[in-house]
């Protein structure tokens, strides 16, 4: 059964990616696979109180739940250097969560940097979390147990969610649920930038000062936006009341240097926040290690369901 589910989820990813320019075809394929997995999918839920398709989320609910109680939520935020990416193309992640029957899965879209500059992206993500809380009773969700998971630019945004709870300037005023909290229970960060005062990339061992994606996000050169460089870095907001983190990062990442993972892990530990850093040995920006999901599931099971399971901290080495 597990092999069947993983196979179907892999097919979903391929189908959604192949139809990235045809949203109706992508939704049809995703719906087909959700039917096979007994999952109810609700596309394009507007979380900001408008009709902007970039300010919408898709929610995946197991039809057969393991418990009659409200179920915890796993929210996935896509990557793409803040300039590309789509919630449909990463549907396999929230579907994987929903397929367990333990969790609801959500995939969030947000405004890209060609539409709006920082801090619009985190304002969107926080509005999405508040939407989850505002609709929790109707959907049978446990609003007190929300995990956020993201890769690359999505890793940056989930890290911001994990560290900036209660930071008024980053909350925004989007959506009908501004009275709700945007705090999250735990964070899974894959390859996310954490400190824009560090170089994202290196060439011949030398830091590359200006990253096109970061310049696009902030609206100009970093030297001209020193305040934004700091205020857009998750590490800036680390405090003892932050959510626990699971950080997975390739040791040979040429897009977001591994130093971002160690920088965040150190800051969290110095603040007394639980942080697990798992280096993925000799791997670049696209992880894809077959044992990653096991580590992520144990982390989520512990923090969302209170299960007495530990997440192994040793590096994930190449499969031979």
Kindly report, residue by residue over 116-139, the tens digit of the pLDDT: 999 999 999 999 999 999 999 999
Please say if the pLDDT value at position 62 is more than 50: yes
Q: What's the confidence (pLDDT) of residue 318?
A: 76
Kindly report, residue by residue over 248-281, the tens digit of the pLDDT: 999 999 999 999 999 999 999 999 999 999 999 9
Q: What is the mean pLDDT of residues 229-254?
A: 96
**SS3 letters for 29-53?**
HHHHHHHHCCEEEEEEEECCCCCCC
Kindly report, residue by residue over 93-104, the tens digit of the pLDDT: 999 999 999 999
Select the more confidently predicted residue: 5 or 199.
199
- Split at pLDDT 50, 70, 90, the class of 320 is low
Cα 16 to chain centroid, rounded: 18
Q: Which of 59-63, 182-186, 225-229, 266-270 has the lowest mean pLDDT?
A: 225-229
Give the span between the Cα atoms of 149 and 78, in whole angstroms: 9
**CATH H superfamily, domain 2-305:** Alpha/Beta hydrolase fold, catalytic domain (3.40.50.1820)
- Beta strands of the chain (E only): which ranges? 39-46, 56-62, 71-77, 104-108, 141-151, 186-190, 202-203, 206-207, 245-250, 275-280
Q: What's the confidence (pLDDT) of residue 21?
A: 53
Q: Within 10 A of 49 (CB to CB), how many other CB atoms are there?
A: 14
Give the span between the Cα atoms of 36 and 233, in whole angstroms: 41
Give the span between the Cα atoms of 123 and 118, in whole angstroms: 9
- Split at pLDDT 50, 70, 90, the class of 303 is very high
Please say if the pLDDT value at position 226 is more than 60: yes
Give the span between the Cα atoms of 217 and 235, in whole angstroms: 17
Torsion of CA 211, 255, 164, 120, to 10 degrees: 50
- Label residues 218-238 b or e (16+ Cβ within 10 Å = b): beeebeebeebbebbbbbbbb
Q: List 302's β-bridge partners, or say none.
A: none
Percent of the chain past pLDDT 70, that is, above it, reads 93
- Split at pLDDT 50, 70, 90, the class of 65 is confident
Structural domain spans, the chain = 2-305
Q: Within 10 A of 2 (CB to CB), how many other CB atoms are there?
A: 7
């Amino acid at each position: 059964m597990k092999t069947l589910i993983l196979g179907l989820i892999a097919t979903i990813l391929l189908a959604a990616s192949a139809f990235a320019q045809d949203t109706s075809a992508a939704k049809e394929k995703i719906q087909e696979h959700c039917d096979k997995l007994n999952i109810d999918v609700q596309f394009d839920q507007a979380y900001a109180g408008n009709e902007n398709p970039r300010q919408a989320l898709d929610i995946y609910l197991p039809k057969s739940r393991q418990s009659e109680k409200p179920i915890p939520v796993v929210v996935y935020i896509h990557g793409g250097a803040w300039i590309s990416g789509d919630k449909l193309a990463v549907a396999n992640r929230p579907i994987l969560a929903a397929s367990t029957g333990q969790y609801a899965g959500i995939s969030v879209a947000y405004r890209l940097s060609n539409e709006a500059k920082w801090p619009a992206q985190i304002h969107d993500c926080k509005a999405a979390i508040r939407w989850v809380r505002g609709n929790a009773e109707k959907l049978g969700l446990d609003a007190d147990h929300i995990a956020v998971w993201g890769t690359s630019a999505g890793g940056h945004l989930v890290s911001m969610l994990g560290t900036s709870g209660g930071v008024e300037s980053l909350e925004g005023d989007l959506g009908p649920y501004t009275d709700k909290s945007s705090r999250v229970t735990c964070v899974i960060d894959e390859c996310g930038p954490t400190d824009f005062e560090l170089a994202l990339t290196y060439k011949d061992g030398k830091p590359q000062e200006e990253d096109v994606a970061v310049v696009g996000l902030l609206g100009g050169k970093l030297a001209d936006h020193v305040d934004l460089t700091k205020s857009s870095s998750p590490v800036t907001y680390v405090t003892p009341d932050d959510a626990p983190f699971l950080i997975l990062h390739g040791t040979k990442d040429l897009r977001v240097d591994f130093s971002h993972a160690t920088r965040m892990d150190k800051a969290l530990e110095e603040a007394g926040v639980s942080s697990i850093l798992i280096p993925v040995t000799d791997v670049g920006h696209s992880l894809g290690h077959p044992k990653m999901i096991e580590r992520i599931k144990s982390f989520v099971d512990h923090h969302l369901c209170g299960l007495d399971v530990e997440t192994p901290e040793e590096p994930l080495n190449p499969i031979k």
